């Protein structure tokens, strides 16, 4: 699972053993940059923990605790990035034959550069997952790249199953996942964040499990959406429903 974000903390005890190769399109800046792809913010590390923190009896455990996490640093220490760097990151993931590109990032408008990179990665077998955005409530405001047809757009729910108030909605939403008050890894420790950024890596981790078991990107996408739990929300809010990892991997519903 490639985390296209601000990087991943290479020293974190919940993550270090699961880290694979990384690549920086924006270099890490600061005193804790052991690698160019290290996290000089905290956002990428938080997302990485949700997707694949170790099962080590401490801290947190990710959706896929045995997954290999690849840091693809496309956002700087302020959490900002360019379309060209994000597109280059996507193309790099595809060229490495990595399974999943997790994108907890977005913009209100699209880019031909990003669209072409999404098409390239999707055609080369990468499962593309992205945060729907935090512009809710709205009628149709799913951000990009989540709004592209090649990408699984993930909205956010709270612990009570309601749509998170901040979550973007619209016909582009494909699946929902927990995004309200999520506790996960950050450089040097742990913290609680909220956002569709937190919902996205739940789905990415589950996709990584499916593809490790031999599913193609299209098969994994179908399994994730067809087994999602109907929360009784509109399709613009939940898409096909709430992510059910156990059901998606054939272990029965988590209920």
Per-residue pLDDT tens digits for 102-120: 999 999 999 999 999 999 9
How sure is the predictor about 46, in pLDDT bands with cuts at 50, 70 and 90?
Answer: very high
Is 231 a residue whose pLDDT tops 90? yes
In the three-class reduction of DSSP (H, G, I as helix; E, B as strand; rest coil), residue 231 is classed as coil
What's the pLDDT at 161?
Answer: 95
What's CA 47's distance to the chain center, in Å? 7
**Is residue 43 among the annotated active site residues?**
yes
Please tell me whether the peptide bond between 145 and the residue prior to it is cis, using omega within 30 degrees of 0: yes
Beta-carbon neighbour count of residue 139 at 10 Å? Answer: 9
Residue carrying structure tokens 């981790």 = 205
Is 139 a residue whose pLDDT tops 90? no
Instruction: Give dist(CA 119, CA 91) in Å, integer.
Output: 10
Instruction: Give dist(CA 245, CA 32) in Å, integer.
Output: 34
- Of 160, 164, 88, 90, the residue nearest 132 (C-alpha): 164
What is the value of pTM for the model shown?
Answer: 0.97
Looking at every residue in the chain, the average pLDDT score rounds to 96
pLDDT average, residue stretch 13-30: 97
What is the greatest pairwise CA distance in the chain?
A: 48
What's the pLDDT at 254?
Answer: 61
How sure is the predictor about 176, in pLDDT bands with cuts at 50, 70 and 90?
Answer: very high
pLDDT average, residue stretch 32-51: 97
pLDDT average, residue stretch 214-218: 98
In the three-class reduction of DSSP (H, G, I as helix; E, B as strand; rest coil), residue 144 is classed as strand
Is 141 a residue whose pLDDT tops 70? yes
Instruction: Give dist(CA 75, CA 24) in Å, integer.
Output: 9
Instruction: Give dist(CA 214, CA 212) in Å, integer.
Output: 5
Residue tagged active-site, from 104, 197, 204, 215: 197
pLDDT average, residue stretch 19-38: 95
Is 55 a residue whose pLDDT tops 70? yes
Give the CA angle between residues 247, 252, 254 to the nearest 5°: 70
Question: What phi, psi does 217 have (nearest 5°)?
Answer: -65, -35
Residue tagged active-site, from 12, 43, 46, 70: 43
**Is residue 197 among the annotated active site residues?**
yes
Question: What phi, psi does 52 have (nearest 5°)?
Answer: -155, 35
Q: How many CA atoms lie within 13 A of 234 on its CB side?
A: 10
């Amino acid at each position: 699972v490639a985390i296209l974000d601000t990087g991943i903390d290479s020293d974190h005890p919940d993550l270090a053993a699961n880290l694979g190769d990384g690549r920086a399109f924006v270099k890490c800046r600061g005193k804790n940059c052991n690698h160019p792809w290290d996290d000089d913010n905290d956002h990428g590390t938080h997302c990485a923990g949700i997707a694949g923190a170790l099962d080590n009896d401490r801290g947190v455990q990710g959706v896929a605790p045995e997954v290999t996490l690849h840091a693809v640093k496309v956002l700087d220490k302020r959490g900002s990035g360019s379309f060209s760097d994000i597109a280059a990151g996507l193309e790099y993931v595809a060229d490495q034959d990595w399974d999943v590109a997790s994108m907890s990032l977005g913009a209100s408008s699209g880019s031909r550069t990003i669209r072409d990179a999404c098409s390239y990665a999707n055609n080369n077998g990468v499962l593309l997952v992205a945060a729907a955005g935090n512009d809710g409530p709205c009628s149709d405001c799913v951000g990009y790249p989540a709004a592209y047809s090649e990408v699984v757009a993930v909205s956010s729910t709270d612990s009570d199953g309601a749509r998170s108030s901040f979550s973007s909605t619209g016909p582009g939403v494909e699946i929902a996942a927990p995004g309200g008050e999520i506790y996960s890894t950050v450089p040097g420790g742990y913290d609680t964040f909220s956002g569709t950024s937190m919902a996205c890596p739940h789905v990415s981790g589950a996709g990584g499990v499916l593809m490790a078991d031999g599913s193609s990107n299209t098969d994994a996408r179908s399994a994730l959406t067809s087994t999602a739990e109907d929360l009784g929300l509109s399709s613009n809010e939940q898409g096909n429903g709430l992510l059910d990892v156990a059901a998606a991997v054939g272990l029965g519903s988590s209920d």
